[in-house]
A and B are shown apart, each in its own frame.
Chain A
Amino acid sequence: MSAACLAGAKRVIRHLDLAEATALAEEIQNLKTAAEIKRRLTDFAEKCASKKGEPDYV
């Protein structure tokens, strides 16, 4: 259900370092192939997903 996806989105956001993500976005704008972009985004998504526990900053 959509609520499950919303929960997943919030989890990623709460573990997200926006500065790191923005730097990645700039880097990706300069990548030349789909394979390179997929690899960088997949690595980043897996890194976000592997962060454990609830952050205590909010």
Chain B
Amino acid sequence: MELFGKPVSRGIVIGTVLRYKPFCPQLQEEPLSAGTEARMLERYEQTRNKAGEELDALEKQLLDKAPDKAKIVAAHRDILLDPAIDEEIRTMVTGQNLSPDSAIARTYDTYAALLSKSKNKLMQERASDLLDVKGRLLRCWAGEPERNLSVLSEPVTVVADDLYPSDTVALDRTHVLGIVTQVGGATCHTAIIARSYEIPAVLGVEGAMEQLHDGQTIILDAEAGKILIQPSAQDLAEYRTKGERVAAQLREERAYLDKEPITQNGTRLETCLNVAAATAQELAGAAYADGCGLLRTEFLYLNSDHLPDEEEQYRAYKKVLTAFGSKPVILRTVDIGGDKQLTNLELPRESNPFLGVRGLRLSLARPELFRTQVRAVLRASVHGNLQVMLPMVGGLEEIREAKAIFAQEATALDRAGIPWNHHIQIGIMVEVPSIALIADLAADEVDFVSVGTNDLTQYLCAADRMNPAVRPYYQEYHPAVFRILGHLARTFSAAGKKSVYAASWGEILWPSPRWWGWASTSCP
């Protein structure tokens, strides 16, 4: 049996499953019985001490091997020992007869909510630290042992619904062979951590927690985005060989990072990089790439408990542009909807989100969101060579509407005397077959075209790539995919416009689009 998901970090591993389920607290909502306050406060004090001991031990463990992470743990202890928070919890217990676990939850939630609304980025980040400490206290209160991924006794493939920063902060890298989660994609925190630790990972695997059990042997193929359950002896032998070959290949490839991308015939092929976050890990390759072929902006929306304001977006875009210097950076306006849902924005439920309000459709349906991003993009454009790409475009009307909003916001910036790059280019990402078939008309409206084959294949073949039942119909090698790729490149080239192929994780197609005339390829 096989499960499928999105490969986000390369490699093939064979390992035993460790199902990771973080502690889920059951709070006591009823008021305390009369006369029990003192006993409850004493238990609260013991809980706090226990949490402090755990943090001390964790800090000690991390001091040598990961000093940065040790600092985060030390910050958690500072929060735990904060006298104002402690006093507030005690007052709730004695003054309002609240059980200490409810008092802990209310107090920490209140402070976290306040910090998350702060305009100061550092203060916002402290909100998640507060929630981590809250979780630790509530687990200690329940007498549950710590379940984390920092100390593992044997090599495992971690299977979880999702992994949070607190789960990965002390991840035992020597024993975590692979990662499988039920939610998430290329831009989520887990994907970024997996790539930076070079741990093979497949995310967005529906049913993983139900289908996979502790101790079960599985093959995680993060080259193809699949998990083989109960593999046969033949499967194990085949994938052991494949895994060794991929590992050797990855080791050998490292030496090529600073080389020029020139073919045996002496042709230089423009080679860019996809970027999914404004972090040092994601931007590590900027110096060695010809530009950023796809800056996914979803990270600002998906990994946060609030919608990003203009200033937060501006700072993130500026950071990416600065990393790439004068090289082109193609920023894709937010592509939410479909498999990317937000916790901080109520979106209407749709029976088929992939055919619903996603990508540019959502931006046009919620212009206040789009205009905020457009202003941030325009302001950031002075810090480098920024180009803008519109996702999920189906027709010319949408392109024109989006361009009109850009023009309106640009005029407003001019009036306010705020500088922006007047040579900014606007292009489209082709995923919807309707726009591909009128590529000649689209080329008159925009400056460049880009394509991502995952969604394009899905829409061309009318097959959900995450649905195992229609897996045989999702054909990334379907002749129609190659005809469309050739058609797009030829049409835009004839119009004197550029074409950029943005590769996805797990495809082996990536070098071939150049042969059909695509001017640039961007690596996942």
Task: Name A's B-contacting residues (CB within 8 A).
Answer: 1-19, 21-22, 24-25, 28-29, 31-35, 37-38, 41-42, 45, 48-49, 54-55, 57-58
Interface-central residue, A1, A6, A32, A41, by most chain B CB under 10 Å: A6
**A-chain residues with CB within 8 Å of residue B198 when the two chains form the complex:** 1, 4
Contacts of A22 in B (CB 8 A): 515
Q: Contact: B486 with A3, CB < 8 Å?
A: no
Given A28-B482, A49-B249, A6:B285 Cβ within 8 A: yes
- Measured CB to CB, the residues of B under 8 A from A are 9-10, 195-196, 198, 249-250, 252-257, 259-267, 269, 271, 273-276, 281-282, 284-285, 288-289, 475-479, 482-483, 486, 505, 508-512, 514-516, 521, 523-524
Do A9 and B261 contact each other (CB < 8 Å), given the known contacts A1-B284, A4-B253, A57-B266? yes
A interface, over-half SS: helix
Known contacts A6-B288, A34-B475, A54-B255; decide if A18 and B264 are in contact (CB<8 Å): yes
**B271–A31 CB distance below 8 A:** no
A55: min CB distance to chain B, Å: 6
- Closest-CB distance, B503 to chain A (whole angstroms): 8
Q: How far is the CA of A41 from the CA of B510 in the complex (A)?
A: 10
A58 contacts B266, CB within 8 Å? Answer: yes
Q: Given the complex, which residues of B lie within 8 Å of A54, measured CB to CB?
A: 255
Which residue among B196, B285, B524 has the maximum number of chain A CB atoms within 10 Å of its CB? B285
Cβ–Cβ < 8 Å partners of A4 in chain B = 10, 195, 198, 250, 253-254
- Asked whether, in the complex, the Cβ of B479 is within 8 Å of the Cβ of A8, the reply is no
- Taking CB atoms, residues of chain B closer than 8 Å to A57 are 264, 266
Q: Is the CB of A16 within 8 A of B511?
A: yes
| A1→B281 CA distance, assembly (Å) | 7
Q: Is the CB of A58 within 8 A of B260?
A: yes
Q: Identify 8 new A-B residue pairs, CB closer than 8 A, beyond the known A18-B263, A18-B515, A25-B515.
A: A2-B275, A2-B276, A3-B285, A4-B10, A9-B510, A16-B264, A18-B264, A24-B512
In the complex, what residue of chain A is closest to B245 when comparing beta carbons?
A: A49
Contact of A3 among B263, B288, B475 (CB under 8 A): B288
Contacts A11-B252, A29-B483, A58-B262 given; does A37 touch B10 at CB 8 Å: no
Docked-complex contact A10 and B482, CB < 8 angstroms: no
Closest to A49 in B: B249
| Interface residue from A6, A15, A17, A32 paired with B479 (Cβ < 8 Å) | A32
Q: Which residues of B contact A1 (CB under 8 A)?
A: 9, 195-196, 198, 281-282, 284-285
Can you report 8 A-B residue pairs in the complex whose CB atoms are below 8 A from each other? A7-B288, A8-B253, A13-B262, A14-B262, A16-B511, A21-B515, A34-B478, A48-B511
Q: 7 closest pairs, A vs B, by CB?
A: A3-B285, A25-B515, A34-B475, A7-B257, A1-B195, A34-B477, A38-B477
**Contacts A1-B195, A34-B477, A37-B479 given; does A13 touch B515 at CB 8 Å:** no
Cα distance A6–B275 in the bound complex, in angstroms: 12
Q: When chains A and B are docked, how far (Å) is the Cα of A42 from the Cα of B265? A: 22
A8 partner residues in chain B, CB cutoff 8 A: 249-250, 253, 256, 523
Residue of B nearest to A42 (CB): B508
Residues of chain B lying within 8 A (CB to CB) of residue A45 = 508, 511
Q: A21 vs B267: C-alpha distance in the bound complex, in angstroms?
A: 13
Q: How far is the CA of A41 from the CA of B267 in the complex (A)?
A: 21
**B514 contacts across to A, CB distance below 8 A:** 21
A7 near B266 with CB under 8 A, answer: no
Known: A2-B285, A4-B253, A31-B479. A15 touches B264 (CB 8 A): yes
Residue of B nearest to A22 (CB): B515
**A37-B477 Cα distance, complex, nearest whole Å:** 6
CA separation between A24 and B511, bound complex, in Å? Answer: 12
Q: Check B261 against A3 for contact (C-beta < 8 Å).
A: no
Contact indicator B288/A13 (Cβ below 8 Å): no
Q: Check B524–A17 contact: CB distance below 8 A.
A: no
- A9: min CB distance to chain B, Å: 5
**A25-B517 Cα distance, complex, nearest whole Å:** 10
Q: Are A6 and B271 in contact (CB under 8 A)?
A: yes
Name A7's contact: one of B255, B276, B512 (CB within 8 Å).
Answer: B255
Closest to A57 in B: B264
Query: Chain A residue with minimal CB distance to B290?
Result: A6
Q: Does the CB pair A10–B261 fall under 8 Å?
A: yes
A7, A24, A58: the one within 8 Å of B253 (CB): A7
Cβ contact within 8 Å between B252 and A21: no
Question: Contact: B284 with A3, CB < 8 Å?
Answer: yes
Cα–Cα distance between A48 and B269 once the two chains are bound (Å):
16
Chain B residues, CB < 8 A from A12:
511
Q: Which residues of B contact A29 (CB under 8 A)?
A: 482-483, 486
**In whole angstroms, how far apart are the Cα atoms of A22 and B511 in the complex?**
11
**Contact in complex: A2, B511 (CB < 8 Å):** no
